[in-house]
Amino acid sequence: MRRIGLVVVLTLSLFLAPPAVEAQSPTTIPRIGLLADVTPGEPLRRGLRDLGSVEGKSLALEVRSSRGRIERFRRWARP
């Protein structure tokens, strides 16, 4: 009888105990920033897609074009 009681207690403890949850570290995706004189965004995006990258999931891409106004680079390139 004692052995059955032990089995019942162990079985119930498996079902009633809260499941162990592992802490998840916050995932950060690599961020690529591109400063250019012209807008090269679409060919770059296409090339990254061909390599298997998914924008917003496996990398973040931020493209800025000065459109001929070089003075914009100084403001954008600040860390």
Residue 21 lies in a domain: no
Q: How far apart are CA 67 and CA 38, in angstroms?
A: 6
| Structure confidence by residue, pLDDT tens digits, 13-53 | 666 666 665 656 557 888 888 877 776 677 888 888 899 98
Residue 48 lies in a domain: yes
Q: pTM of the predicted model, to two decimals?
A: 0.50
Residue 59 lies in a domain: yes
Residue 72 lies in a domain: yes
| Structure confidence by residue, pLDDT tens digits, 42-74 | 788 888 889 998 888 888 888 877 777 777 777
> What three-state secondary structure class fits 11?
helix
Domain residue limits at 64: 30-79
Residue 9 lies in a domain: no
Number of domains comprising the chain? 1
